[in-house]
Structure 1
């Protein structure tokens, strides 16, 4: 009969796991370092909800500013990010005289840049891209359209087409299709004080531009470059070759194009190199570039490029490059396909007058712009999550050292907070912003330690210093390895001088001895280490015990009378299921977590026997068939599902 009980328990638990499969698939696996340590909720400090769902949005947000510009379908908003009230709403509808169907008449804003002395805005304008300069009115309370421009080459014809823009010292760089079908896509300087220049047609093949960045050089501004990151179609037709190659290209900021007789209005400095993220020995490469975040450094050579890649086997990876690594390839590699003497000045060199460059130098740029060598890095982080966006913050921790923290957005509305320290990444936490929408845009405010995030329904500000999530004890605070937080006599708080933390390995030896005694504090109850929750339970009925999961990097067990039982993970709780209460099931239970040799009693229970006048009353009351055989009762399946449903409902509430 005991074997029958065990079989019943296993089968019903398995069935219930299948029923909850949809909810469990996104829940991290316990005891794995490849999953977030903690799931964090309620960290939104401000929200603005759109009047209608936006299929696309674009932000302009600069640190130290209180203002956020948001572009959507037929409007530009100016928001106060402190309280998310609308400072101004500027309607930008499609040109009235245009004849089009209702859906295609939308003017989806795709570009918002601070350009010269105005706000420069471009949109699809019902498949006829248009740009506007918005100037503050005399009262400085509303914007007025002072000038409008034909926007082809700056904005796409529809928002799903590829495009990018970058404003640099009064010049506008952009990539957008020249044709309505999305073709003729190039990276150009389109407007500003300098000459408009564009690319030679053969330089790229069906490109997808990801990002462009200006890297400043304090002591030699004439040598500054604009770096553009993109992927393009692979010319290798072999079936084992990846269809896409990731690239980094560069042009000189001072490039004015060639002379009137040769290469006029063409880049004379464009070079490109393959950007490789993978493991050379295993010949395992992540070839599809998805997103880029550039972190400036005091020495421009040390400027870091965080690149997010995907692969054909549904994995993503983050590789980290420096501008110094990229420049080394551009300055020292040979030119792919060119085997003659390299002329002077070397092709790609920034010169004050590009129109005077010798034709031999420009010919190599024209015909051989690709470098032979690759810019190679091994992945810093590999994951099965489908990440789509990345930003990186630099944080000074309690030990006064600086640490980089990555924020990676998934395609399912979640953000992972990942520490870059030591030999491997550490996934601090996961925050879910939406159950239905992917994250469209993500902007970092490092000064305020906030993340401004846009999804189709709303804009939200995420607090990056959510230290109260680790406030149970010094050990919990230190184990989190969150450089934004540290332990003080007041609890786990934003890092201050003299606070306790161990970012590199999370070892709790830095905590005072008495502080390592853990306390579980939740919204519902406080369980001190020496207190127990009492339950009076009759024999022959199913019963479960539950304790909350405080860390998905920990291992959880249930201890009873010297024996250990595994945890049944159900969403964010650990359950211990008892198929039918018998004499040996009564007594004291402890839910124990172990993480990095830190043992913590999360919950304590005491089960005592409840005497019933009629032991079959439980089943009769619930109209469940009852069967008795000797000293034990076969647990009815309906009772099991009722019990487990109660458990899950209690977990979700």
Structure 2
């Protein structure tokens, strides 16, 4: 019987592998605050694997462009975003003239920006930051590297140090440490057509800069502002106060600093205000700002800020802010700690000549740059979305659906290599899908192309290009397409397609009764709603001949984690036993009443369907078992298996643990 022990171990290992490879963190069935669908990496087409793992990568990509620039260690790659093929590689090895020691030999690229007439690239350069310009050659349009700038204040000394960069109207704005120890970190205008400016030392305390954005006012460009989002040490040292707070600061684009006598080369319009995300009534806040995505609008008042926060109790939240409301606080709030009359012009006002500002105005900026009032999210009393997932990055796309309404779709990156696609609908979050992109590492970089509808994601081992319009995932029926509540997709004569014009959708509710409209889809796909469940087009009846008294299980694929699954047999229903992405039905020992038809039925909202159907027949007495008894024990397919008797308990225990 030693072979039986061996088979049991192998079979146990097979189930244990399933458990360890994703079952433990698979969504639970029937919960609407979890992803509706889970997509595996094998469905992702656009991948580029690095020959050597990268500790840090940075992207540059213009919306709608075919080119993606990737900065890694000692190089910049130019990649075609449509097929993820490398077009050109630019070596950028360190020019530091010193003896190599660990980490000092490398030039890790930290900045890629389109600046003036070239692509501007900066790197750590062996702890001696340096910048280069990549000029286009005249004849073949390839790039030529030209050494240009000393990079201190633009690139950090090490890739682990905090930094950011932004180009706006021909100027380069950066935040990077001025010392190799990572200190003296401040936001400054470093290069361009306007004066170089920096911050006064006391304006921020131990900051971590998260994002910067230029918000244009096309009707009034002299009032254009640069907004900076960061977290810093809390000035309130009381025991009940959080040690860190998150803030937004703004400066005027036309700011040229103060006069030669006072505040020369220092911002004269710097103001900051605290960002509130949480539950004000309970004084419970998410204070650790992680990432920011600014959704620009034609009218700057309608520009929205999506901010990702973490908390001390291991939860993540998304709060949404109105740019109009942010500016209202800067324009109307009193100044924290300032008791006198507010001078004219009001501190923070954009003027043509900042060097001529009255001393009283500049002194308020110097000593009291913080607003007394806090900036609340548009939902005010609670965050838009709260999750136990550890999200690290956010991007937001605007999509026009078949009903002509504009919907916002959030893409949230987890620290375990997953992307959650989240619909914002009537101030509520609906998680459309979870896509597993990597099982090895967290996401380093993420860039959204709103024109090509792609999300480009960078890991230490690869770059993945994710198609945001994967409507074929819901192509089995009109009901499946509608239940997805994916604004990118609608049911048409061609099935579930990204061409939503005239198609069937119900984004706000996902009610499938809209499928009763007369839209003729492919014959193999189009179905009308029935009162009684029937097999889906992708299901089929599997026939198994099973001996009496043999343990047996049936498996049904989970295609929606928002649905409820049951097994029907001889007029009786039994619950689904979830394991990873499957629903199991376990028969401890085949009895006479165990034979017959089994249906795996899913019910979601107003739609019921048969996902899988089996016909179990009794193997005649005396008929030789196919192959051998040993092969019967290990014989299993993707949807059913005969089990060794002692394995039943093992499987039941595993199911309970999930």
How high is the TM-score relative to the length of structure 2? 0.90
Matches within 5 A, 1:189-588: 189-377=189-377, 378-512=382-516, 514-516=527-529, 520=536, 526-527=538-539, 532-588=541-597
Distance 2:64 2:460 in 1: 26
**Structure 1 pair 285/615, CA: closer, same or farther in 2 (3 Å)?**
farther
2:30 equivalent in structure 1: 31
Residue by residue, what CA displacement relative to the aligned partner does 1:491-538 show, whole Å, maximum 9, x if unpaired? 1111332110100100011002842357545xxxx425xxx3222212
Distance 1:43 1:618 in 2: 35
Residues 128 and 157 in structure 1, CA contact (< 8 A), matched pair in contact too: yes
**Residue 105 of structure 1: SS of its match in structure 2?**
coil
1:629 equivalent in structure 2: none
Distance 1:230 1:389 in 2: 14
Residue by residue, what CA displacement relative to the aligned partner does 1:166-187 show, whole Å, maximum 9, x if unpaired? 0011110000001111100000
Distance 1:374 1:552 in 2: 39
**Structure 1 pair 295/261, CA: closer, same or farther in 2 (3 Å)?**
same
Distance 1:32 1:623 in 2: 37
Residues 551 and 590 in structure 2, CA contact (< 8 A), matched pair in contact too: yes
**Structure 1 pair 441/635, CA: closer, same or farther in 2 (3 Å)?**
closer
Residue by residue, what CA displacement relative to the aligned partner does 1:530-564 show, whole Å, maximum 9, x if unpaired? xx322221211101111111100001111122221
2:639 equivalent in structure 1: none
2:64 equivalent in structure 1: 64
2:123 equivalent in structure 1: 123
Q: CA deviation at 1:23?
A: 2.9
**Structure 1 pair 621/221, CA: closer, same or farther in 2 (3 Å)?**
closer
**Residue 584 of structure 1: SS of its match in structure 2?**
helix
Residues 127 and 157 in structure 1, CA contact (< 8 A), matched pair in contact too: yes
Residue by residue, what CA displacement relative to the aligned partner does 1:422-477 show, whole Å, maximum 9, x if unpaired? 24210000111100111111111111111111111121211111011101111110
**Unaligned regions of 5+ residues in structure 2, if any?**
1-10, 518-526, 634-642
**Unaligned regions of 5+ residues in structure 1, if any?**
1-11, 625-633, 648-653
RMSD: 2.5
Q: CA deviation at 1:34?
A: 1.4
**Residue 528 of structure 2: SS of its match in structure 1?**
helix
Distance 1:621 1:252 in 2: 78
Q: CA deviation at 1:31?
A: 0.5
Residues 542 and 643 in structure 1, CA contact (< 8 A), matched pair in contact too: no
1:89 equivalent in structure 2: 89
Distance 1:498 1:142 in 2: 44
Distance 1:490 1:455 in 2: 36
Distance 1:223 1:96 in 2: 42
Distance 1:479 1:493 in 2: 14
Distance 1:379 1:410 in 2: 18
2:607 equivalent in structure 1: 598
Distance 2:628 2:539 in 1: 33
Distance 1:271 1:99 in 2: 44
**Residue 104 of structure 1: SS of its match in structure 2?**
coil
Q: CA deviation at 1:635?
A: 7.4
**Residue 370 of structure 1: SS of its match in structure 2?**
coil
Residues 472 and 519 in structure 1, CA contact (< 8 A), matched pair in contact too: no
Residue by residue, what CA displacement relative to the aligned partner does 1:95-130 show, whole Å, maximum 9, x if unpaired? 152323153210000000110011111000001111
Distance 1:218 1:209 in 2: 27
2:638 equivalent in structure 1: none
Distance 2:475 2:232 in 1: 48
**Residue 360 of structure 2: SS of its match in structure 1?**
helix
Distance 1:114 1:353 in 2: 28
**Structure 1 pair 96/206, CA: closer, same or farther in 2 (3 Å)?**
closer
